[in-house]
A and B are shown apart, each in its own frame.
Chain A
Amino acid sequence: MLLGTLIETAGATPTGWRTLRTDDRVVDRETVQRMAEGDAEALAAVYDRHIRSVFGLAMRVLQDQGDAEDVVQEVFSQAWTQAKRYDATRGSVVSWLLLMSRSRAIDRLRSRRAKPDSAPLPHDTAVVELPDLALGAEQCVLTAESAAALRAALTVLPLIQRVAIELAYFEGLTQTQIAERLEQPLGTVKTRIRTGLLKLREALEEK
């Protein structure tokens, strides 16, 4: 709750989040189908519907407007060229765009850090083959209710667990780098991340 409160109270009001309804998903799916047929207006429509989420995530990771704008460029370019390969049964359009945004932003962040030790993310594949070939479709579709439950669970996660998860997921640090950053034993970092993720999973399962 603690750091989460800090991050979220001033960041955006709860109404700042856009929740996706079934109708939205249908519209999104149809729009991407039009994109796949080369309809540039469909691309503009997808941009208008999701730019705030994509830009918000890129800013969250990069903390730099210029870099975030470059990521937006890359994400929508990729969405345009890969629209034919988008599989609606594997996740929503906004998830597809956000995973691309996060992946491209982390790439940029790691490049900025110039630390070759960092591995490509498991999600990098998902950027192309959304979201992960190992997953069943039903597991990947995050509903608006699930997303809200996850956000709520994140805010009540113990500060140190949330920090460790965020350092990995939004700053692209490895477990070793997180341990160095937090001055914690590697085993402790590993346990905190796992415990935190399991709590978030419980929250998703309970909703």
Chain B
Amino acid sequence: MSDLQHTPFDGLAALYAVGGLSADERTAFETHLEVCLDCVGEVKSLLPVTHGLVHGTPPLDAPAELRARVLGHITSTAPAPRDLSAPAPTLDLFSPNEPDPTALFVKPRRQGPGVLFWLAASLVIAAAGGVGWQMAELDRQVRDLRAALGASTDLAARAETEMEAARAVAAEREAVLAIVTGSGVQQLDLAGQPLSPRASARALWNDAAQMVIIATGLPALPAGDVYQLWFVLPDAPVSAALLEPDLDGDATVRLAVPDIVTLPVVMALTVEPSGGVPAPTGDLYLLGQPTE
């Protein structure tokens, strides 16, 4: 294959592997793949990477009722695996050879003994023992039952809380992405200062005065101190946000620019007492100045 033949497809292997080609581009590139071993090699080397990306997404609890719905639907409507040789099955096709859908639930998974178990156990115990012992045992069973129900309730509440948190994260991520990747985005870079030579940050904002600050390399602070970001106006600095870096010294924060601030403007990051202060008092860690 000559360079001239390869050139139009240079760099497309990565896009092919990540699914970033249009239909026409993909068709053309696949034709090229038939004659270009270099591109075949690159695609083969990158596909494990793109396949691996699916493993990078945090797991999430699905709604509990989804299990019965999904499994019930599949076993009541989808053809069994042994029917694969049958002509093109569809999900709506009913097959009399399907496994009994109820078989799925013969041994349902439980977090702990169910209510019926406890009730049945109580009856057995009552029949077998003396009244006093029976009452004491029943009391114990009731306590256990309440504890089991309480645990189940806690579990459900925790799952709901996790779901809400995940939704909030997704919404925040989308909000940041919308600003960072939106149209008309402007930016100001903040450089590290003598106390933080490896630190840097970038402020990005859109026409709606929504801003994202992305900082990296911030030194860890002693307990009781916090990073505070400032818009340095001619009259006086205005507090923008508090930054809480992670263990790697990275921090991202989204904020609304106050009406009194006309961007671009000098921005600075200082270290202040926990909770922040109305006006900067501490050392300077980052400074960004608009170019003329």
* A residues whose Cβ falls under 8 Å from a Cβ of B: 1-3, 5-12, 16-18, 35-41, 43-44, 47-48, 51-53, 55-57, 59-60, 63, 65, 69, 72-73, 76-77, 80-85, 91, 94-95, 98-99, 101-102, 106, 117-123, 126, 131-132, 134-135, 139-140, 142, 146-147, 150-151, 154, 159, 163, 165, 167-170, 172-176, 178, 181-183, 190-191, 193-194, 197-198, 200-201, 204
Interchain CB contact under 8 A, B84 and A5: no
* Complex: A118 Cα to B168 Cα, angstroms: 29
- For the complex, what is the distance from the CA of A60 to the CA of B177, rounded to whole Å? 14
- A117–B170 contact, CB under 8 A? no
Flag whether B60 is at the interface (Cβ < 8 A).
Answer: yes
The winner among B12, B23, B83 for most chain A CB atoms within 10 A is B23
Of B135-143, B221-229, B244-252, the one touching chain A: B244-252
Do B60 and A59 touch across chains, with their CB atoms under 8 A apart? Answer: yes
Q: B31 contacts the other chain (Cβ, under 8 Å)? A: no
Contact of A99 among B21, B51, B252 (CB under 8 A): B51
Partner of A193 from B14, B60, B67, B104 at Cβ < 8 Å? B14
Asked whether B180 lies within 8 Å of A163 as measured between CB atoms, the reply is yes
Q: When A16-B59, A55-B60, A151-B56 are in contact, do A169 and B50 touch as well, CB less than 8 Å?
A: yes
- Evaluate whether A95 and B54 lie within 8 angstroms (CB atoms) in the complex, with A35-B81, A59-B60, A81-B78 already known: yes
- Which of A48, A77, A94, A134 is in CB contact (< 8 Å) with B74? A77
Say which residue of A6, A44, A80, A135 sits within 8 Å of B47 (CB atoms). A135
Known: A5-B252, A204-B52. 19 other contacts (CB 8 A): A1-B248, A2-B216, A2-B252, A6-B176, A40-B99, A41-B104, A43-B104, A55-B59, A55-B60, A59-B166, A60-B58, A119-B19, A146-B52, A150-B49, A165-B53, A175-B21, A182-B181, A183-B183, A200-B49
CB distance from A19 to the nearest CB of B (A): 9
Tell me whether B78 and A72 are in contact (CB under 8 A). no
Question: Which residues on the A side are within 8 Å of B83 (C-beta)?
Answer: 81
Identify the interface centre among A7, A47, A76, A117: most chain B CB within 10 Å of its CB.
A7
B61 at interface by CB-CB < 8 Å: yes
Q: Is the CB of A84 within 8 A of B62?
A: no
Contact assessment for A77 and B73 in the assembled complex, using a CB-CB cutoff below 8 Å: yes
| Given A134-B44, A175-B20, A140:B51 Cβ within 8 A | yes
- Min Cβ gap B281→A in Å is 28
- Residue from B20, B62, B66, B252 having most chain A Cβ neighbours under 10 A: B20
